[in-house]
């Protein structure tokens, strides 16, 4: 019996590539290479992720601090007014929280009475801040002055009594300086707080620049960490 003739070039079962593959000696006895998928990229390690998030967070904080410092220097009056309003909000919120803690805790009666009196006084001072811009700025200056006064006294006394304290001379000097600054704020609150606003603006600018430089240095160290670590 004879085999049926193969399909011709004009017939539908004809494949010209098979003919050329059979004639080409390079393809004789070879099979096409299997299809291989490209290897998957390794996932970033936790240390690499943390380092990258760290320098980005420091950079964002530095930019925000720098912008805030520039705004304070450009508009010291509105910045001081905003600070007074925020201070009033802080007093109201802290007063409400102290009242809640006075009625909701199981502390002794004396501590509950102290928390109630402190919360009520804080709410009254917060409401006093919203009576006008001058009142809020004045109260803010007095608050800062009293805080510096107490801190200066405690820091100086602690440094004098502890002779083995590190940098004892500098602590005494800073305590006296803080005490004097507190007295100046209490005696002349409005002028002192205006100067303090400018000092705070320049301080924010310097801190913002330092944080931005630190962020790029952290970025340089983070790039040296292997991606799989």
- What's the CA gap between 201 and 73, in Å, rounded? 5
Angle at CA of residue 94, ends 68 and 192, nearest 5°:
50
**pLDDT surpasses 80 at 149:** yes
Over residues 177-229, the pLDDT tens digits come to 888 888 888 888 878 888 888 888 888 898 889 888 888 887 777 676 665 55
Question: In this predicted model, what pLDDT tens digit does every residue of 170-191 receive, in sequence order?
Answer: 888 888 988 888 888 888 887 8
Rounded to whole angstroms, the Cα distance separating 83 from 76 reads 10
Is the confidence at residue 17, as pLDDT, over 60? no
Q: Is the CB of residue 188 less than 8 Å from the CB of residue 194?
A: no
| Residue % of the chain over a pLDDT of 70 | 72
CA atoms within 13 A on the CB side of 72: 23
Gap between the Cα atoms of 143 and 84, Å rounded:
11
């Amino acid at each position: 019996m004879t085999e049926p003739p193969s399909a011709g070039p004009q017939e539908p079962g004809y494949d010209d590539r098979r003919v050329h593959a059979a004639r080409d000696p390079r393809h004789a006895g070879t099979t096409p290479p299997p299809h291989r998928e490209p290897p998957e990229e390794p996932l970033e390690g936790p240390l690499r992720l943390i380092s990258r998030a760290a320098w980005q967070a420091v950079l964002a904080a530095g930019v925000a601090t720098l912008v805030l410092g520039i705004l304070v220097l450009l508009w010291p009056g509105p910045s001081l007014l905003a600070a007074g309003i925020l201070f009033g909000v802080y007093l109201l919120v802290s007063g409400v929280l102290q009242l809640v803690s006075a009625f909701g805790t199981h502390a002794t009666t004396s501590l509950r009475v102290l928390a109630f009196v402190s919360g009520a006084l804080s709410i009254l001072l917060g409401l006093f801040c919203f009576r006008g811009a001058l009142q809020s700025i004045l109260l803010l200056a007095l608050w800062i002055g009293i805080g510096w006064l107490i801190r200066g006294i405690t820091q100086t006394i602690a440094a004098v009594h502890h002779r083995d304290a590190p940098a004892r001379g500098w602590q005494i000097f800073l305590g006296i300086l803080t005490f004097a600054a507190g007295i100046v704020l209490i005696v002349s609150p409005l002028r002192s707080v205006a100067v303090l606003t400018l000092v705070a603006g320049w301080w924010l600018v310097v801190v913002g620049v330092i944080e931005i430089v630190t962020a790029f240095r952290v970025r340089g160290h983070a790039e040296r960490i292997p991606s799989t670590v």
